Structure 1
Amino acid sequence: MKPFLLHKGKAAVLDRDNVDTDQIIPKQFLKRIERTGYGRFAFFDWRYKENGDPDPSFELNDPKFKGASILLAGENFGCGSSREHAPWALGDYGFKVIIAPSFADIFHQNCLKNGILPVKLDAAKIAVLMEKAAFTDGELTVNLADQTIWSSSGLEAAFDIDPHWKEMLMNGRDEIAYTLLYEDRIAEYEGRM
Structure 2
Amino acid sequence: MEAFTRLDAPAAPLPLANIDTDQIIPKQFLKTVERAGLAKGLFYEYRFDRDGREKPDFVLNQPAYKGAGVLIAGDNFGCGSSREHAPWALMDFGIRCVISTSFADIFYNNCFQNGLLPVVLKAGEVQQLMDEARGGNHVVSVDLESQTVTSPSGAVFHFTIDPQRKAKMLKGLDAIGETLEAAGDIDTYEMKRALAQPWLEGA
In the alignment, the residues of structure 2 paired with residue 67 and residue 137 of structure 1 have an alpha-carbon distance, to the nearest angstrom, of 14
Query: Amino acid of the residue matched to residue 123 of structure 2?
Result: A
Q: What TM-score does the superposition give when structure 2 sets the normalisation length? A: 0.92
Query: Amino acid of the residue matched to residue 35 of structure 2?
Result: R
In the alignment, the residues of structure 2 paired with residue 86 and residue 39 of structure 1 have an alpha-carbon distance, to the nearest angstrom, of 10
**What are the residue-to-residue correspondences of 1:64-103 with 2, within 5 Å?**
64-103=64-103
- Residue 61 of structure 1 and its aligned partner are, at CA, apart by 1.8
TM-superposition CA deviations, 1:125-150 (whole Å, max 9, x none): 01001000002311111110000111
Q: Which runs of 5+ in 2 are unaligned?
A: 194-203
Q: Which residue of 2 aligns with 1:55?
A: 55
Query: Amino acid of the residue matched to residue 126 of structure 1?
Result: V
Q: Which residue of 2 aligns with 1:173?
A: 173
Q: CA RMSD in A?
A: 1.0
SS at match of 1:76: coil
For these two proteins, the number of residue pairs brought into alignment is 193
More deviation, 56-65/22-31? 56-65
In the alignment, the residues of structure 2 paired with residue 180 and residue 59 of structure 1 have an alpha-carbon distance, to the nearest angstrom, of 40
Q: Which residue of 1 aligns with 2:32?
A: 32
**What are the residue-to-residue correspondences of 1:1-193 with 2, within 5 Å?**
1-193=1-193
Query: Amino acid of the residue matched to residue 131 of structure 2?
Result: E
TM-superposition CA deviations, 1:86-134 (whole Å, max 9, x none): 0000000110110000001110111111001000111110100100000
What percentage of residue pairs aligned between the two structures are identical? 47
In the alignment, the residues of structure 2 paired with residue 86 and residue 11 of structure 1 have an alpha-carbon distance, to the nearest angstrom, of 19
* Higher Rg: 2
Q: Which runs of 5+ in 1 are unaligned?
A: none
In the alignment, the residues of structure 2 paired with residue 48 and residue 63 of structure 1 have an alpha-carbon distance, to the nearest angstrom, of 15
Query: Amino acid of the residue matched to residue 119 of structure 1?
Result: V
SS at match of 2:176: helix
Query: Amino acid of the residue matched to residue 73 of structure 1?
Result: A
Structure 1 runs (4+) greater than 3 angstroms displaced: none
In the alignment, the residues of structure 1 paired with residue 21 and residue 107 of structure 2 have an alpha-carbon distance, to the nearest angstrom, of 8
Contact map agreement 2:132 2:152 (CA 8 A) in 1: no
In the alignment, the residues of structure 2 paired with residue 79 and residue 152 of structure 1 have an alpha-carbon distance, to the nearest angstrom, of 29
- Residue 183 of structure 1 and its aligned partner are, at CA, apart by 1.4
